Structures are given as C-alpha cells and as structure tokens.
Structure 1
Amino acid sequence: METAEMTEEDSTIKGGEEKQKGEDPPKGICPPEKKCPKICGTNYPLSIAFIVVNEFCERFSYYGLKAVLTLYFLYFLHWNENTSTSVYHAFSGLCYFTPVFGAFIADSWLGKYKTIIYLSIVYVIGHVIKSVGAIPMVGNQIGHVVMSMTGLSLIALGTGGIKPCVAAFGGDQFEEEHVQERSTFFSVFYLSINAGSLLSTFITPLLRGDVKCFGRDCFALAFGVPAILMVIALVVFIAGNRLYKKTPPQGNILLEVYKCISFAVTNRIKNRSPEIPKRKHWLDWASEKYSNQLITEVKMVTRVLFLFIPLPMFWALFDQQGSRWTLQAIKMNGDFGGFVLQPDQMQFLNPLLILVLVPVFDLGFYPLINLCKLNFTPIKKMATGMILAGLAFAVAAVVELKVEENAMPDLISKESHIQVLNLADSNIEVAVLHNDLFQLSIEPFQDPDDYSKIILTGARQSLPFRIQYQGSSFTFNRTVQEKLLYSLIIYKAAGNITSSLIKDMGGKPSEGMAAIRFINTLAQDVNITLGKEEFVKSYSASDYRIVERGRYNNVKCQTGGEEYILHLGLLDFGAAYTVVITRNNSENLLEARKIEDIPANNIHMAWQIPQYILISAGEVMFSITGLSFSYSQAPVNMKSVLQAGWLLTVAFGNLIVLIIAQAAPLKQWAEFVLFAALLFVVCIIFSIMGYFYHSINPEELIDEDSKQDTPSNKNMIGLVEKNTKQ
C-alpha cells in the first residue's frame, strides 16, 4: 500500500552529547543536548512509541477514507464513473503535492513538531467536515458537494503536510551512535503504515456496506471512524510532548536547490554571447554565487530527478486500485462462501500482499538471483516492477471483458429492446411486423435468454404484434420508445388472451444490490411483505424494488383473507427479477415463479486476485528499490530533495489518470489496455535512460570536488554563509 518514505540515511540528526555518568534522565521536554528516557533500559527513546501509534492511526484514517471514497462519489453524490475517478485521483494527487509545502513550513519556519501539530488539527477539521457532509439530512446536494470538497482539500493539506515530517521527527529522537536502533525504528514505522492501511481498507468498507443508517449505506460512519482515529493520532502525539527531542528549523534545502538552479539558468541566459567561454555543465553557471560542493550535490540530485521523469506512469496504474479496480469489483460476485466481500474491501489485498512479499523477495527471490550471478541492478528491478504493473492491467482488461459479457445492452437512438414473458398456460408464438424476431415458440413461464433489439423509425413507434395461441391468432399494437427496455407480457384474464407492455430496468442495480418486481396473475389483489408491504393489483405489475443481496425464503403474501409463504430463493448481486404470482389449482396454493430480467454478476471477485498479486509484486520491486537507489545516489543533506521528487512522481501519476479519464472516453477494458501499453513504452524509455546512467558514491565525489575549490571560491562560500545568517 505504501512503501517506506525514508531510510536511516535520511535523518540529519546531529545527536546529543554524551551525558556524564550518573546523570538522571531529564524531566520535561528533552533538549537536543540531553538523552531522553528509554524503553525498558534499551537504546530506544520512549518518545518513539507515541510516534509509531500516531502514524498507525493517521494511516488508518487516510486509507480508510480513500477505501470508500470512489463509491461515495458514485452512490451518495450520484456522479458518473469518470467524474468519480477524476475527483478521486485529483484528491490523491493533491495529497502528494502538499508534502513540499509541509517540508517548507517545517524546515524554514515552525519546525517538525509544531508543523505536525498544526497540520494535524487541519487534518481533523477536514475529516469532521467530510463526515458531516456524508449525512443525508445535512444540507442539499450542493451542500454535500461543497462540504465534501472542502473536507477533502483540508485532509489533503493535512496528510501531505505532515508526511515528510513524522518519519524524520522519529529519526530525530535517536542518538547519533544508535544507528541500528534507528534502522529498526524505520522498519517498525513502515510496519505501522501497512498495518494501518491493511485494517482500514478491510474495516471501513464493512462500516459502509454492512451497517445501514438513514436507510442506505452508512458513509457517515465509514468516514466518521477514520475521523476518530485521526483525533486519537493527534491526542497521542501531543501526549508525548514532554518526551520529544525537538530540533529547531535549520533552513530549507529544497529552497537552496531551487535558488541554485534558478541562478544557473538565469546566468546562462544572460551570458549567451559566443565570446564567453562555455562551461562543462549547465549548473556550473551558478559558480559565481554558490560553492562547488553545493553545485556538485545539485548535479547528483538532478541526475536522479531526470531518471524520475518516466516514473509517474507507474503510479498512474498503481493508484487505480481505489478507483477503476473498485468500480470493476462492484460488477462482480463477492460471495466467498462463508462471507461476502464488499467491492471496496478488495483493496486490503495490496497491504496484505506487501507484508508477505517483502520478506519473500528479500529472503528468497533476490538471494536466488544473486546465486545465479545475474546482474539484477536497481534499474532492472524497477523496470521489472513496471512490467509487472503493466501485466496486472492486461489481466484486469481480460477480466473486464468477461465482466462486460454480462452487461446490459447499449441503449442508443432509434433502438429499443424487448423480451416476451408467456404467462399463459401453453406455448405461444410472437411476431413483430417488419422485424425478424422471436423465431421459436415460447413456453409458459420460460425465462428469456436475452433481450431482442428492435429498430424504430423514430423516437417513438407503434408496433403491431401478432400472437399465435392454441391455433388462434391475436393482433394488437403497442407504442415503443427508443433507448428503453420492455417486457411484453402475454397472459389470460377471464378466459381471454391479452397483453401488457411494461418498462424494465435500464441497467444493473447499483451497490451490488438486487432488484425485484411482482406480477400478479390472480383475480384478487395481493399484499406482499418484503421489508415493507407491497400492494399489487389483480393482473398488474409492481415497480422494481431494490433489496440487499440474499436468500428470501419466507416472504409473506396475503390475498383473499389468507396468508401464504413464498420461497423466492437467492436474489443475487446486480440481478433484476420478475416474480410471477400464480395459483396452483391442484393444491390451491400460491406459487412464485422467478424470472431473471437482468443476469446476476457471474464473474467472481477472486478473478481480481492475480492482478492484485502482480501489481503488489511490482510495487515491491519498483517502489522500495527506487527509494533505496535514489537515496544512495545523493548526499545525506539532499535526501529530502529526492523524497520530495519521489512524492511528486506519485502526484503527477494521479494527474495522468485524471486527464485520461476525462479526455479519452473508452470502454473500460480498452482503457486498461491503454494504460498497460503506455507503461510498457515508458518502461522501454526508462530502461534506455538507466542504461546510460552510471552509479556513483556521492560522498567520494563530493570530497574529490571539494578539493578543487579555489581560494576565491572559498572566500565566496564564506560570504554566502555570512549573508545567509543575516
């Protein structure tokens, strides 16, 4: 779900000075120059317990919100799939743009501790507004949209703003010499991230789908629980206040890098005269103002950032687990026998698989590759991760094709679709003038295989139907409108054959629900109790009613002063049924004959497991390897720059999805193929770029370059430092 954003190398801790023997642990706030209380006599500061719990609750909050967000847009705000996908990825992208803002505040103004506190308060306010906006009785449609967008904007600012601060703040708690303990902390910190995302992506969909409030899915509760967890995260973090070692703001290296690059570009533009000697590297044009060491460091960073350019395409695919893949799951069957999985719950597979695959790769796959003496470089690992993600989307496209086989027919202009229900007591033959339809005779209560398409001469047309029944012929006209589905019901009333044309559902029931209607063929009215009472007049049909998927074997039906029990059986995911109420004359009992108008979702959610395995394996090879590699290629004080660049690749990846969702209205399977093809192309480009990239040891290169500083350069460095302090 989320890989570690920082390694022990990231920490720029300058460690506290050694205490004199016998000195008591400080009471109150731990200053940098003193050691803080430890856990059970170990070298682990007690303060990190508060930080780890805070991170667990915050990640639960964030991923719990995201797990149900797409379905909230779809079912609560009633947006279409493309709009829901676009807003989902706009929010996700914003969450990865704001870390740059948070890092700037922490490093230049407030420090990490205050930044975490203040932006966590913003985070909580956003959650509260989002939760209140999901209560149906609060405001109208516009009000819900305004509150939702306001809440999501504040949440994006909060979660993104604290993202670069929490891990680094945890690293600050360790002494300089406790490198191993700090490394273990980051492992536990990473575990808390994935534990929070694993639990939240499993629990919040249950709160949404299995708990009903206000007569519908309980989005208010599904958003409210993450809000409570974020409050707990803030309270826990504040509770550890007196134990924390707090380092003051030390200047923003991101800003320095930006200034250096800007000055180099500006200086090069100003000195375009052919008389001015060219310089070996474009960043060398910053040498008039900045030291050789800083310029060398920026060169190393820009080399890695250049490699980052193709990376957003991977994240464009990866982050669709919460949007397109969830939308795919709502059209599938989630019955796993002993339990039913909600469509948005499938996302929990990613953090679960990450926790399984990381040790499998580290302890099994990579050592095996090394034994085979294959040069499996970080660039090759990342390219392999891209290929696996592309294969995941290829698999998703195949699954989508199977899902669409079960979809409703497209409704277009001058076309209508019709099925025939024979409720008479013997076979009938149906013909429509000028249409080659219904070639075979139709048996009594036969469940139609599919709708038949009728071409109309306009938006409305009166069609002549001819019915053959027991040697007699009956003709009647019925008016049909374009873009609608109909059922032509043939039945006997008072001994005579008659017909009725009724409108059917135009699409599958939403939210994995089922739809049911009743046709009463009795001479008496009936009352059917299915949740609430349904009154159906004699020889008529009721409207469709949306019900939860399940077995309905004790449905009460009253008619003529007597009560009967109807056994309807399973009403399955995404299906629509017509239940015909008839009387069994031989036993004088009522019978319920169930006909499937819209087929149930017959593709099981388990078919999504291969694509989740592929993309999770791709994440392990791409994300973890990419972070480790990029950090190894830059000096310690530039790690934050690379972290910001890495997070921005995620942001731009979500922006790609937003653009494609709005600009390329494709069939869903075709969109999956497009994303897979784009990633394969990008993988080739990245591999070529990686082929010409030569790994370096940053510290050795900096030491070598520093020796080349001239006296004038060194004097210039002192001036710059002096000006900075002023």
Structure 2
Amino acid sequence: MAKDAVYAKDGTIDYLGNPAKKRKTGTWTACYFILGHEFCERFTYYGMSTNLVLYFKHQLHQHSATASKNVADWGGTCYITPLIGALVADAYLGRYLTILYLSVVYVIGMALLTLSASVPGLKPTCYGKDNCHASHGQSAVCFLSLYLIALAAGGIKPCISSFGADQFDDADEVEKQHKSSFFNWFFLSINTGGLIAASLMVWIQDNVSWGWGFGIPALAMAASGVSFFSGTRLYRNQKPGGSPITRICQVIVASIRKYDVEVPNDESLLYETKDKVSAIQGSRKLDHSNGLR
C-alpha cells in the first residue's frame, strides 16, 4: 500500500508523536468522544449559568442590579478567555493538551462552586428560602470558582471545534465531506446540551437545592473530561506552530510592502512552498480565495 494511503496527508500526528495512520486514527471514531465532551460541557455551562442572577440575589444577598452586573462581567470574561486558550493551544501546548488541562480546571471550579453552595461554613447562612446572607469569605469562594470556570470554558471554546476538524484530512475527498457533517452534529450537541440544562437544572435549582443544581453539572463536567480522555489513542493532533501573533504581524508587514503586486492566476505561485503542507510547522495551507483582494 502506498505511503500516502497509510498516513494522513495534513501533517497530523498520533498521541505518540508519530504520523497519524488513516485507518487507526481520526474520522468519526475519534469524533464521538469529542461530541460527548461538547455535549456534557455545554450542559455544565448552561446548567450552572442560566439561573446565576437568582443565585446572586437570593443566596449572596445582592441587589438585582449588582447581581446582573456580576453575571455580565463573568459572562464577558468567558468570551475574552478564548483569546488566551487559542494562543496557548496554537503556540505551545496544542489543542489536545489545552482541552485536557482546562477540563481538569473546569472540574475543579465546578466542584468548588458545588461546595460553596452545599457545605456548611462555605454556603451562605439562610433564614428562609430566599433570605440568605453570605460573608465576604463565602462570596470570595463562589467568585473564585466562577472565574476558574470562565478561564477553563473560554479556553476550551476555541479549541474543541478545531480539534474536531483536525480528525478529517482535507486531502482526502471522502473525509473532507464528512467534516461538514461533523460540524452539524457538533452544533446539535451544543444546542441539545444547552436545552436540557436550561430546562432541567433551573427547575432543580428552584425546587430542590442549589447544591444539587450545581452538583449535577459538576458531575457532567467530570464525565466530559473522561469522554475526551478516553479517545486519546484515536486522535489526530496538529503540532503547535508558534505564536500566531508573530504571523499576524508578518502578514500585515508583507501586505503593506507588496500592496501593488499583481495576483497570479496560478494559485500554486501564491505559496512559499510547493509541498502539500505549509512551511509553518503545525499549520495548513489555506485554499486560494478571491475574497479580500
């Protein structure tokens, strides 16, 4: 069998650092574990965050405006931290290790949040169902856990979908078609996890307890990490390619210096190398586009 038929052509490697074999790594067999991780992680995120304003109001005894502001600040942090996660993954750790390490941080944050809502001494003192008062220390534990979650969730967000795409070789037409189907299932898992969480966990938090309301998502996040780790031997991994900030600066400088260069009709002349992969380790060639000429 030809070498090209044995190994993936996009430069991916297996968990041992060897070239990824097409029959033993990647494709849907690996993606089932990634989809399981995403479903559980989104269930955890929305199950914990959907009712957070009420938790701040009734358990931490915050004014409505303060509670809303704190949730908005926390949510904004969740959408800023992907910049950190993407940089770390692309430049240093790679997507697999970034997702794995931050999943552990996520579980720690969820466990700490569950303890802060259920363990005497850590949970606020309550004089009725919606009449609770939290000390400064109890509030600090709660916010520490939430920002650990924000760091982890934000770091995972930019990596997990790209890591799923890494499991399909663009040089293989069959696998390339399957990649589109993967993203359909990926977003289905996100929305299904969010729907179940927003429906079920809010009811549990309102009618059972906040301990269970946070504890069940914590268990789901632990299951998420187990699901992801279980597929280690099957994954295809892209090597870290160095800081993307450096490459962005290079593109800006090159575009200014070459603003008047005529674009050739032969797209192969656009590349710095005639090989099938990019000259930058861990990166791929981008398809030629007439956009942004």
Q: Name the TM-score class by shorter chain.
A: 0.7 to 0.9
| Whole-Å separation in 1 of the counterparts to 2:246 and 2:156 | 18
2:70 maps to a residue whose letter is V
Counterpart for residue 48 of structure 1 = 31
Match for residue 193 of structure 1 among 172, 190, 194: 190
Counterpart for residue 82 of structure 1 = 65
Counterpart for residue 171 of structure 1 = 165
Identity of aligned residues (%): 35
Contact 1:134 1:220 in 2 (8 A): yes
CA displacement at 1:54 relative to structure 2: 0.4
Secondary structure of 1:699's aligned partner: coil
> Given the superposition, is the C-alpha separation of residues 86 and 28 from structure 1 closer, same or farther in structure 2, using an over 3 Å criterion?
closer
**Greater strand proportion:** 1
1:82 maps to a residue whose letter is A
CA displacement at 1:197 relative to structure 2: 0.2
CA displacement at 1:68 relative to structure 2: 1.7
Match for residue 700 of structure 1 among 286, 290, 293: 290
Match for residue 79 of structure 2 among 84, 96, 108: 96
Looking at CA atoms only, which structure, 1 or 2, has the larger radius of gyration?
A: 1
| Whole-Å separation in 1 of the counterparts to 2:192 and 2:77 | 24
CA displacement at 1:19 relative to structure 2: 1.9
In the alignment, structure 1 segments of 5+ residues that lack a partner are 1-15, 21-26, 212-217, 265-282, 297-635, 640-696, 706-726
Counterpart for residue 212 of structure 2 = 221
> Given the superposition, is the C-alpha separation of residues 47 and 91 from structure 1 closer, same or farther in structure 2, using an over 3 Å criterion?
same
Secondary structure of 1:133's aligned partner: helix
2:152 maps to a residue whose letter is G
Counterpart for residue 233 of structure 1 = 224
TM norm structure 1: 0.32
| Whole-Å separation in 2 of the counterparts to 1:166 and 1:86 | 29
CA displacement at 1:207 relative to structure 2: 1.2
TM norm structure 2: 0.77
User: After superposition, where does 1:19-418 map in structure 2 within 5 Å?
Assistant: 19=6, 31-37=18-24, 44-135=27-118, 137-139=120-122, 141-176=135-170, 177=172, 178-211=175-208, 218-258=209-249, 261=252, 284=256, 287=257
| Whole-Å separation in 2 of the counterparts to 1:17 and 1:162 | 32
The Cα offsets for residues 290-338 of structure 1, whole Å up to 9 and x where unpaired, read as x669xx9xxxxxxxxxxxxxxxxxxxxxxxxxxxxxxxxxxxxxxxxxx
| Whole-Å separation in 1 of the counterparts to 2:135 and 2:118 | 11
Secondary structure of 2:236's aligned partner: coil
| Whole-Å separation in 1 of the counterparts to 2:42 and 2:190 | 6
CA displacement at 1:74 relative to structure 2: 0.6
Contact 2:91 2:244 in 1 (8 A): no
Contact 2:15 2:237 in 1 (8 A): no
CA displacement at 1:251 relative to structure 2: 2.8
The Cα offsets for residues 614-644 of structure 1, whole Å up to 9 and x where unpaired, read as xxxxxxxxxxxxxxxxxxxxxx9799xxxxx
CA displacement at 1:255 relative to structure 2: 4.1
| Whole-Å separation in 1 of the counterparts to 2:20 and 2:259 | 32
Secondary structure of 1:45's aligned partner: helix
Contact 1:50 1:237 in 2 (8 A): yes
State how many pairs are aligned.
251
> Given the superposition, is the C-alpha separation of residues 162 and 172 from structure 1 closer, same or farther in structure 2, using an over 3 Å criterion?
same
Contact 1:36 1:245 in 2 (8 A): no
RMSD across aligned C-alpha pairs, in angstroms?
3.1
CA displacement at 1:253 relative to structure 2: 3.0
Contact 1:253 1:638 in 2 (8 A): no
| Whole-Å separation in 2 of the counterparts to 1:36 and 1:164 | 27
| Whole-Å separation in 2 of the counterparts to 1:103 and 1:209 | 36
| Whole-Å separation in 2 of the counterparts to 1:153 and 1:234 | 19
1:155 maps to a residue whose letter is I
2:71 maps to a residue whose letter is Y
Secondary structure of 1:700's aligned partner: coil
Counterpart for residue 674 of structure 1 = none
Contact 1:29 1:245 in 2 (8 A): no
Higher relative contact order (CA 8 A, sep 6+): 2
Contact 1:99 1:164 in 2 (8 A): yes
Contact 2:105 2:152 in 1 (8 A): yes
| Whole-Å separation in 1 of the counterparts to 2:251 and 2:226 | 40
| Whole-Å separation in 2 of the counterparts to 1:64 and 1:167 | 21
Contact 1:133 1:143 in 2 (8 A): no
Contact 1:110 1:249 in 2 (8 A): yes
CA displacement at 1:156 relative to structure 2: 0.5
CA displacement at 1:210 relative to structure 2: 1.8
The Cα offsets for residues 14-46 of structure 1, whole Å up to 9 and x where unpaired, read as xx93229xxxxxx986844411448xxxx9431
| Whole-Å separation in 2 of the counterparts to 1:700 and 1:233 | 40
The Cα offsets for residues 390-448 of structure 1, whole Å up to 9 and x where unpaired, read as xxxxxxxxxxxxxxxxxxxxxxxxxxxxxxxxxxxxxxxxxxxxxxxxxxxxxxxxxxx
> Given the superposition, is the C-alpha separation of residues 183 and 127 from structure 1 closer, same or farther in structure 2, using an over 3 Å criterion?
same
2:165 maps to a residue whose letter is G
The Cα offsets for residues 197-249 of structure 1, whole Å up to 9 and x where unpaired, read as 000001111211221xxxxxx11211111111111000111111111111211
User: After superposition, where does 1:538-617 map in structure 2 within 5 Å?
Assistant: none
**Greater helix proportion:** 2
